[in-house]
Amino acid sequence: MPIYAYKCESCGHAKDVLQKISDAPLSECPACGKPTFSKQLTAAGFQLKGSGWYATDFRGSTAGAGGTSAPATTAPESASASSEAAPAATACGGNCACH
């Protein structure tokens, strides 16, 4: 079951709630009782670690399938091109899936 982040627009109360995907979203704030409690948009909270299929098939390594490989490096040209396209000051530092 996923964990959803909720926040009240009236009083600012924030809470993480474990809910089924099929459950109706909460609307009443547990702190103030007003119907202004809504889901927040958040990033996924997981990381892929280890030597699974994603590391051998989709990481751009030069090693053959089934072997362990070093992480792919980025060429200086593509690093300078991406820094020009994205704003210099980002909340995530530019090292995330959104950049």
Asked whether the beta carbons of 80 and 74 are under 8 A apart, the reply is no
Q: How much is the pLDDT for 86?
A: 46
Asked whether the beta carbons of 14 and 5 are under 8 A apart, the reply is yes
Nearest to 54 by CA among 77, 71, 79: 71
Whose tokens are 């992480």? That residue is 71
Q: Which stretches of the chain drop beneath a pLDDT of 50? A: 65, 67, 69, 74-87
User: Per DSSP, what are the bridge partners of residue 37?
Assistant: 8
Q: How much is the pLDDT for 42?
A: 84
Strand order, beta sheet including 37-39: 14-18, 3-8, 37-39
Type of residue at 9: E
- Rounded alpha-carbon distances, angstroms, from residue 30 to 7, 13, 60: 10, 8, 47
